Amino acid sequence: MESIIGINHVTLAVKDLEQSLAFYSGLLGCEVRMRKGHSAYLGAGTFWLALVVDENVRSGPLPEYTHVALSVSKEGLPVLKEKLLKAGVVEWQESEWADSFYFLDPDGHKLELHSGTLSERLASGQR
């Protein structure tokens, strides 16, 4: 039986490619791998992020809990969190756990920095 083996990439619609590139590469440290016209590909480890300008992009966060969690080291989480807060990034949810920080990108996409693993999450009983 065939099954998926992982996430290939995530594509986010953005209103301003320059602003989003500054956010994802400048603040989060993603590497710009390609930029052409109204789109760009960025990488972080094995994670591949596509940014595409779309005139129909949201104007703020959706009311639901759906979000993308980005991996960061336990040591790097407080450093990156402080950097984001100093840059004025909006926190969309306070975390009950020390291994997560929830924030918005410039277009209101909900993101999370997460330093834990699935096995740690399952062992803790957290959702």
Residue 127 has pLDDT above 80, yes or no: no
* 44 and 69 part of one domain: no
DSSP designation for 75: T
Q: Is residue 2 part of a domain?
A: no
CATH code for the domain in which residue 106 is found: 3.10.180.10
Kindly report the pTM of this predicted structure: 0.92
pLDDT tens digits, 70-80 = 999 999 999 99
State the average pLDDT over residues 61-82. Answer: 95
Residue 7 has pLDDT above 90, yes or no: no
* 103 and 124 part of one domain: yes
* 103 and 80 part of one domain: yes
**Overall domain count for the chain:** 2
Range of the domain at 101: 58-127
* 110 and 95 part of one domain: yes
In which region does residue 88 sit, left (phi positive, over 0), alpha (psi from -120 to 50) or beta (all else)? left
* 66 and 99 part of one domain: yes
* pLDDT > 90: percent of the chain: 79
The string of DSSP codes covering 1-51 is -----S---EEEEES-HHHHHIIIIIIT-PEEEEEETTEEEEEETTEEEEE
State the average pLDDT over residues 93-98. Answer: 86
Would you state the structure tokens that stand for residue 84, as one six-digit string? 């984001």
